[in-house]
Structure 1
Amino acid sequence: MPEDSGHNGHHGASIELESLSKEYPGNPTPAVDNVNMEIKAGEVVILVGPSGCGKSTTLKMINRLIEPTGGRIRIGGEDVTDIDPVKLRRKVGYAIQSAGLFPHMTVAQNIALVPKMIGWSKTRIASRIEELLDLVGLDAGEFRGRYPRQLSGGQQQRVGVARALAADPPVLLMDEPFGAVDPITRDHLQDELIRLQHELHKTIVFVTHDFDEAIKLGDRIAVLREQSHIAQFDTPEAILTNPADDFVSGFVGAGAALKRLNLSRVRDVEITDYPTVTVDDPLQEIFNRLRSSGTNEILLLDKRGRPYKWLRRGDLMRARGSLARAGTLVSDTVTRDATLRDALEAVLTDNAGRVVVTGRRGEYTGVVDMETLMNSVHELLDADRLEALEAQHELEGARAERTHAEQEGEGGGMKA
């Protein structure tokens, strides 16, 4: 990640919650009761649980937006329970649902808030704004001077993440940050967060009620019961294959094999190349390329190399010198960080048996087809069946041993 002078990229810091509790006057039971958790530096930990279980309260106690009633919080080994909360919040980025941007401030002014507060120079702030907008995939020239009302929900959310990262804090807290956007935008924002994390290695604590989102994003997931009691704190794989109890099983829900598609990424499977042309290519050249490609369609890219339309032979016949009305718009794309589940949904939505894979600026990088995805599904289902079979054999073996031991015991009793 590029850095301006005097700006050192902070990687994540460890977080320790020790006997953390929150009681509200007049409530007989604590909202959060005695939570103990260790989060490693650079780890993405997801807090997931039913509505009202205290997950947001726990999150907000980490940056002391809510003051704990009892217990300690350590960030990078330093006890932050007693330091000035304003100083603490400069070390901890915070992103919430619907972005929470100030409507009367431009995008640049929103991002500059914390750097300005801690006394960064104007040139350093300006360069940081450029860098962050680029990082979250927004063109600085186009978006810097806009107001939140001039942005889509997904764009607002990207600016919210940029603002949370402005002073390069080691810790990022995210409270249902993508909860208010449509499913396709949400998938893309999740992919973006995964890509950012590959570059930044922050410590991220993320609250969601969506278990699929938890599986997709988390290095580890804490499944919380009432009062933030931890039912299970483990990797997504471990929770999917070995839920601790019925409460956790209920959260995992049906179709664990399909949920495991959230653990595999598009970059883990074969991405094939596909014949492409650009909007600047002459029609005859496009026709020749399609004829020599051996396929019955070709992908048309825009001037920036981004997928624009699928063109079939019949479309070209009807084009009559112009591609304006020809072809079918590319409705959905996935990135290399998208999950196989995202890719499968995109393929099924498109009805064409494949989905285009794009790079960080939306540029074409290849295609993933239905056959590749179905092979992955079958591999996961086979692995699940094998695991279930092994577990059954173990159970039967244990039962047989127990029965044998009981019979031995009875036999011994009779001899006596």
Structure 2
Amino acid sequence: MAETTEAGRDGHAAAVAHTSTTGATIELEHLTKRYPGSSDPAVDSVNMEIKAGELVVFVGPSGCGKSTTLKMINRLIEPTGGRIRIGGEDVTDMDPVKLRRRIGYAIQSSGLFPHMTVAQNIALVPKMVGWPKSRIRARVEEMLDLVGLDPGEFQGRYPRQLSGGQQQRVGVARALAADPPVLLMDEPFGAVDPITRDHLQDELIRLQRELHKTIVFVTHDFDEAIKLGDRIAVLRERSHIAQFDTPEAILTNPADDFVSGFVGAGAALKRLNLTRVRDVEITDYPTVTVNDRLQEIFNKLRSSGTNEILLLDKRRRPYKWLRRGDLMRAKGSLARAGTLVHDTVTRDATLRDALEAVLTDNTGRVAVTGRRGEYIGVVDMETLMNSVHELLEEDRLEAMEHQHELEDARAQQTHFEQEGPGGEAKA
């Protein structure tokens, strides 16, 4: 049942992706911002080209100018020098209001208007650009479904009636509502709890895989940058680019000590953020539902050959882990039996997320869920540890190869010094 549902939703997602506007290139040429009374620029001559459909993350210390650089792209902050091109079009001198209607923008704490319903918040930009009401209604439902919220349940609510994670999802839906090619995100998940943040990151990865927008994302969290970015721009003060490369390249070959400081210790474990749950084996596990009779649950556990079984709620979402002793003590009711499932992961979660969830739940495995939280399968500790060992072995082999290259270079240098530039031995 869960697989059929998931396949149907994937088909819907493919249809959405097929009809949506994809990303546009962004080119920054000597982009500069000087504030009156300051001797140094806040942003100093940034040159950068971001490919269409790419998710680029700006990461750097507080006050380095990363948010200022982001806000100059949609001219919430006006540059004092340089050019901005989007899709090859110079937008530096365009009407800034019209420009912003063409660029999605999501910020920390969602930025939703509290006096507007969820539907009204999402409809805001489509209404401004003159979409007909029927198209707006359909788009609101489409966007809510896309970010994993039931339109019938959520479109009439106000922001105060939503959790922090739900507000952020609506914020992303609003930013995407007018189908912009470019989405700017300024620390959008910084104000939510860690588990919700992980799930929002997974949701963004899934959305980007479906929609192929050009996304520029600002964060101070290097682990978040590794998890999300196709490329990462590590920025020094005044937004000087220390390194602009793929997460793999930055982890394995940081440009200098400044970048190494961001990578920090445990680069091999950080590389767990580069592998997704969908890339490893997701196995099935015995499940029952809250609608099943206690005797049926006990019989299935006994015949499963496992020590525990996963109880699903009425929507087939992981609810509790049940052991034999739990059932013996249930006395006809599951209300107090078993251990609540504290965390789950989606197929877009990283192996690091999965490892943390396994350690949190203390069951040796973590349940994998679909867009509506429905059960898909599990990933166990053995699978995760095998992946860790593979990454460590890759790091060991890369280190050996690098050491051999250094030794060869030293040998060639010694030979050159002994033989001289003409190939003859020195006297």
Q: Give distance in 1, aligned partners of 2:303 and 2:168.
A: 44
Structure 1 residue 61 and structure 2 residue 68: aligned? no
1:209 maps to 220
1:49-198 alignment, distance < 5 Å: 49-198=60-209
* Letter matched to residue 339 of structure 1: T
Partner residue in 1 for 2:4:
none
Which of the residues 250, 258, 277 maps onto 1:247?
Answer: 258
SS in 1 for 2:184: strand
Distance in 2 of aligned mates of 1:166 and 1:377: 39
Equivalent-residue separation in structure 1 for 2:331 and 2:384 (angstroms): 37
Other-structure match for 2:280: 269
CA distance in 1, matches of 2:425, 2:265: 47
Contact 1:2-1:131 at 8 Å conserved across structures:
no
The whole-number CA distance in structure 2 between the counterparts of 1:331 and 1:4 is 33
Identity of aligned residues (%): 86
1:200 matched to 2:211? The reply is: yes
Q: Aligned AA for 2:123? A: A
The equivalent of 2:3 in structure 1 is none
CA deviation string 1:65-124 (max 9, x = no partner)? 011111111111111111111111111000000101111111111111111111112221
User: Aligned pairs, how many?
Assistant: 414
8 A Cα contact 1:57 1:66, kept in partner: yes
Deviation at 1:407, TM superposition (A): 2.6
How far did residue 281 of structure 1 move?
1.0
1:221 aligned onto 2:193: no
Counterpart in the other structure of 2:6: none
Mapping 1:212-361, distance limit 5 Å: 212-361=223-372
Provide the secondary structure at the position in 2 that maps to 1:319: coil
AA matched with 2:236? R
> Which one of the candidate residues 52, 59, 84 is aligned to 1:41?
52
**Counterparts in 2 of 1:255 and 1:130: CA distance versus 1, 3 Å:** same
Q: Which amino acid aligns with 2:186?
A: D
* TM-score normalized by the length of structure 1: 0.97
Deviation of residue 369 (structure 1)? 0.6
Give the 3-state SS of the residue equivalent to 2:334 in structure 1: coil
Corresponding residue of 1:408: 419
Inter-partner Cα distance in structure 1 for 2:53 and 2:424: 59
Give distance in 2, aligned partners of 1:39 and 1:75: 10
Q: For the Cα contact (< 8 Å) 1:267–1:337, is it kept in 2?
A: yes
- Measure the CA separation in 2 of the matches of 1:103 and 1:314: 48
CA offset at residue 414 of structure 1? Answer: 5.8
Report the CA distance between 1:413 and its aligned residue: 7.9
**Runs (5+) with no aligned partner, structure 2:** 1-11
Report the aligned-residue RMSD: 1.8
From the superposition, tell whether residues 372 and 2 of structure 1 become closer, same or farther in structure 2 (CA, over 3 Å).
closer
101-110 or 336-345, which deviates more: 101-110
Cα gap change, 1:347/1:8 in structure 2, threshold over 3 Å: closer, same or farther?
A: closer
- What per-residue deviation string (whole Å, max 9, x for no partner) do you get for residues 169-200 of structure 1? 01000000000111000000000000111111
Indicate conservation of the 8 Å contact 1:4/1:124, yes or no: no
For the 8 Å contact 2:368–2:376, the answer to whether it is kept is yes
What is the letter of the counterpart of residue 154 of structure 1?
A: G
2:13·2:146 contact (CA, 8 Å) conserved in 1? Answer: no
**Which string of whole-angstrom CA distances, capped at 9 and with x for unpartnered residues, describes residues 107-144 of structure 1?**
11111111111111222111111111111111112111
- State the SS of the aligned residue for 1:132: helix
Shift of 1:294: 0.2
- Are 1:396 and 2:396 matched, yes or no? no
CA positional deviation for 1:409: 3.8
Question: What SS does the corresponding residue of 1:212 show, helix, strand or coil?
Answer: helix
Please report how far the alpha carbon of residue 4 of structure 1 lies from its aligned counterpart in structure 2 after TM superposition: 11
Q: Distance in 1 between matches of 2:401 and 2:172?
A: 44
Length-normalised TM-score, structure 2: 0.94
Structure 1, gaps ≥5 residues long: none
Deviations 1:295-343, CA, capped at 9 Å, x for gaps: 0111111111111111111111111111111111111000000000000
Whole-angstrom distance in 1 between the partners of 2:209 and 2:411: 49
CA distance in 2, matches of 1:352, 1:312: 11
SS at 2:41 equivalent: coil
Check conservation: 2:33, 2:79, Cα contact below 8 A: yes
- In 1: Cα distance, 2:316 partner to 2:174 partner: 29
CA–CA distance in structure 2, aligned partners of residues 95 and 367 of structure 1? 32
Conserved? CA contact 2:418–2:426, under 8 Å: no
Q: Deviations over 1:319-370 (max 9, x none)?
A: 1111111111111000000000000001111111110000111000001111
